[in-house]
A and B are shown apart, each in its own frame.
Chain A
Amino acid sequence: MTTTAKPPAVGVAHSRVEGRDKVTGAARYASEHHFEQLAHGWFVLSTVARGRVRAVDDEAVRAMPGVVAVLHHGNAPHVATDYVSFLGPPDPTCAVFQNDRVPHAGWPVALVVAETPEQAREAAEALVVEYDEEAHDIAFRADRPDAYVPDQGSPVAAKGDLDAELAASAVVLDATYSTPEQHHSAMEPHAATARWDGGRLEVFDSNQGSMWVADELAKMFSLDPASVRVRSEHIGGAFGSKGMRPHQAAAVMAATALDRPVRVALTRRQTFAITGYRSPTTQRVRLGADHDGRLRAFGHEVLNLTSTLRPFVETSAALGRVLYDAEAHHTAHRIVELDVPTPTWMRAPGEAPGSFAVETALDELAERLGMDPIALRARNEPAVGPLSGLPFSSRDLLGCFTEGARRFGWADRDPRPRTRREGRWLLGTGTAAATYPSGAAPSTASVTAEPDGGFTVRISAADVGTGARTALTLVAAEVLGVDPAGVTVRIGDSDFGPAWVAGGSMGTRSWAWAVTSAAEDLRDQLALRGQDVPPEGLTARVDTARLLAELAKKERHSFGAQFAEVAVDVHTGEVRVRRMLGVFAAGRIVNPLTARSQLVGGMTWGISMALHEEAVRDPASGRHIGADLAGYHVAANADVPLVEADWIDDPVPGDPLGIKGVGELGIVGAAAAITNAVWHATGVRHRDLPLRPDRVLRAEEAGQGA
């Protein structure tokens, strides 16, 4: 075997290595594995928002055709819930049927298992569950007296005297913004098939980290970790919602009780209840500036809700700690516990809602100062982390604005609002900044030189649509100096060992680190052996924990500048996005084709967040209104114009990889760019998402006195 100098693999557009399987229907997702004797589990979810289950009348249902089991708190086996998993304490929602308590609407109260999906569904719908209902409280509002500062993360960060600096400021903005409850709505609903095979528990699942789910299942069911295998080869979208969830636990419980394979596939409606969501937020932003735009005061206080089961913080105030400096800089999170399901991470957790508030506030301040919004941001560009004092690993926010402004035609913009009209449409443009952390977490990987000259990479990574499988193929090919066609990357299998999950924009960076390191090791071994590969192959394994620990402590983030042009019909309230441009500084781009898709996808989420997405709960029942894709609107094709994403060079000195991750960055600031453009079009500010037609109409009446 010889390795010859090859053209670089990293940085060259490459279509997805599993793409052919996906366009021909050959790719199998979690609910598409068939087994002899497969039974189908169907969840029954609580219809009340708080109380206790008095009785589950399973007798009649057990007699229905095809029904083989009804699991509920009266007969389910005990499982552990006091463990600490890979990602911390478990979500109590996942340990199904452990007691009679109902902490929120949509809580799993039973699983009906039958021979066919039709039988399971009908029996589940026929199951009568009686409740002792208690009064519930789901009222989320800024003035909740029971809101508290959570004891996790860094809820508060502060320097300087905010009140004094506000008082000393020439221009002050004090405004409150809100974002609604939002749902991931991945196209593939959660599903898991569990079976016992030769003493091992095997689970085919749709998740963001097979190792994570395997670890939780082993601990929850008190199993030897080596006896649990979770596979997740293809995942139909995740966006933060596909971790450990009730369906995996229920499938394992039923497969164990019945000693046959059991699949639990959630319905679309059920995904709204038990797979997490983004909490609504209410955010107060206070800015104080000198006449030249220099910030003296930066205050950002955020409230989000959580369940009575587990605290969850939507870290919306985090991005201000990175983006802007001020003499006094105060950011704080509070949460309030309500009778609702536990929220979770959703694409750009924290930064997505936080950037809407902060980046709208900056635009409002620029308006009051009579300054260009980009110039205002340039005036407040920090040299080091505003609160940490640490240097940035690389930061080129202004480069993004410069390049974006040039391409978008920002210089030709008349800053006065409500000056452009085209027929029934008022036109406007807006901009906003974007940032997201570029972290890394320890991962293990192996790379094997095969006797046939090929290479096999094994890593418990997940490709949730990001293109991770392809990116890792390119990374390995680059290090090994071979054509990507000679590299096979196997992922989505907990047997491959611990690895970080597809989350926090840390996946590609963390996994590429492990794959690079293992491939380098293998390359060196092969060189020593004169490229001789033994018949069983030659494998190098690494764990990057030590490498990561050596990384210098710095502020590590990606950055970007968002631009949007909108058309607003103030007589119907309709808002149309006409074009968007995002220019990003996101380190080394591994695969331009898929990186661009991810960034454009994030910006498309920004359109959806700005104009459409809003889950509504009925105060009387505590349940969602319209928990489906007709009631919960996500952007459709006709809502999305030509959205362009591009990047500028962003070398990261001293970073052995230089990769930053692009999964979350595209949504950050996107909604603010759109709402700022709506202000520019209409002259009216919007501080509450989404920009529904009724809000545009009411704002028009109030703002124009019409």
Chain B
Amino acid sequence: MAPATASAITLTVNGEKHTLTVDHRTTLLDALRERLELTGTKKGCDQGQCGACTVLVGGRRVVSCLQLAVAVGDEDVTTIEGVANGEHLHPVQQAFLDLDGFQCGYCTPGQICSALAVLEEHAAGWPSAATEDVRPEAGPPALTPEEIRERMSGNLCRCGAYVSIVQAVAHAAEQTGGRTAEEPQKETKEPAA
């Protein structure tokens, strides 16, 4: 008998359980986009280089193009479709919208999922390559623009919206209680109507 090339799995996505039979080669990204029609998660490179497909698996950010669907197991998957609370946007989404943290919008779901994880990682005291003092007793570093830039660098944006992305993440961090430190800015963005 030929070895099985497909398996029945159950994916828990945004709190909803989906049972489906997937080709063993199917990535989590393709399972979301092609099978569950959750197309908010984007395919930018399909090889883990751009971050457009970032989702949260068990609360941690992963690039879903490098994760096989059959290997997800019973961990909860959160995609961009599960970030808002009904009609009420998450503060990170609202900040991206108000501060124009995107242009074409294709990297945006990945940026937002990454930003959610950045806020969690920062709150948990995780250092980054930009952290000056990584001793445990130093406590979590201030979420400076340098920290945000470093922590968000797994998500490419070709339109060049990084400046607004950093401002959006900083703004959302303030809204959600994160400790931020603004760098001096001569110009502030005009608020959106």
Interface residues of A (CB under 8 A from B): 12-16, 18-29, 31-32, 34, 65, 116-119, 122, 184-189, 234-239, 265, 267-268, 407, 464-467, 592-594, 596-598, 600-605, 608, 628-630, 634-638, 640, 642-644, 646
Contact = CB atoms under 8 A, between A and B. Distances in A.
B106 A188 contact: yes
Nearest to A23: B93
A604 B103 contact: no
Nearest to B94: A23
16 contacts: A15-B193, A20-B97, A22-B102, A23-B112, A32-B39, A118-B25, A187-B106, A188-B42, A267-B46, A465-B105, A600-B164, A634-B156, A637-B149, A637-B153, A640-B149, A640-B162
B159 to A, nearest CB: 5
Nearest to B114: A637
A597 to B, nearest CB: 5
Contact of A603 (B145, B153, B160, B185): B160
B96 A23 contact: yes
A25 B80 contact: yes
B38 A24 contact: no
Interface in B100-128: 100, 102-109, 112
Given A593-B192, A637-B149, A28 B39 contact: yes
A621 to B, nearest CB: 21
Contacts of A236: 42, 104-107
A231 to B, nearest CB: 16
Given A117-B30, A642-B145, A465 B83 contact: no
B31 to A, nearest CB: 11
B153 A636 contact: yes
A187 B52 contact: yes
B100 A594 contact: yes
Interface in B138-193: 145, 148-150, 152-153, 155-166, 183, 185-187, 189-193
Given A187-B44, A189-B44, A465-B103, A637 B165 contact: yes
B160 A605 contact: yes
A145 to B, nearest CB: 38
B60 interface: no
A21 B104 CA distance: 12
B143 to A, nearest CB: 14
Contacts of A122: 25
B47 A637 contact: no
Contact of B152 (A239, A594, A637): A637
A21 to B, nearest CB: 8
B76 interface: no
Nearest to A27: B105
Interface string B42-76: 11111101101000000000000000000000000
A677 to B, nearest CB: 18
Contacts, number: 203
Q: Which 7 pairs from chain A and chain B are nearest by CB?
A: A25-B40, A236-B106, A465-B104, A604-B160, A601-B160, A22-B105, A465-B103
A593 to B, nearest CB: 5
A642 B185 CA distance: 8
Nearest to A598: B103
Interface of B: prevailing SS: loop
B33 A24 contact: no
Contact of A117 (B34, B96, B149, B162): B34
A630 B49 contact: yes
Given A597-B164, A603-B160, A25 B152 contact: no
A592 B188 CA distance: 12
A25 B41 contact: yes
A635 B50 CA distance: 11
Contacts of A19: 97, 102, 105
Given A13-B193, A117-B30, A598-B103, A187 B158 contact: yes
Interface centre among A466, A600, A637 (most CB of B within 10 A): A637
Nearest to A34: B37
A592 B105 CA distance: 18
B192 A185 contact: no
Given A24-B83, A118-B25, A594-B103, 13 more contacts: A12-B193, A23-B109, A28-B39, A186-B104, A187-B42, A187-B156, A189-B43, A236-B106, A268-B46, A464-B104, A465-B159, A608-B160, A640-B160
Given A13-B190, A604-B160, A636-B153, A642 B23 contact: no
Nearest to B50: A629
B89 A602 contact: no
A273 to B, nearest CB: 15
A629 B164 CA distance: 22
B43 to A, nearest CB: 7
B186 A407 contact: yes
A234 B105 contact: yes
Nearest to A463: B104
A185 B84 contact: no
A560 to B, nearest CB: 16
A643 B163 contact: yes
A674 to B, nearest CB: 14
A603 B33 CA distance: 33
B187 A644 contact: yes
A168 B190 CA distance: 52
A280 B134 CA distance: 44
A634 B192 contact: no
Nearest to B145: A642
B104 A237 contact: yes
Contact of A601 (B80, B103, B149, B192): B103
A122 B5 CA distance: 13
Contacts of A32: 33, 39
Contacts of B187: 644, 646
B162 A15 contact: no
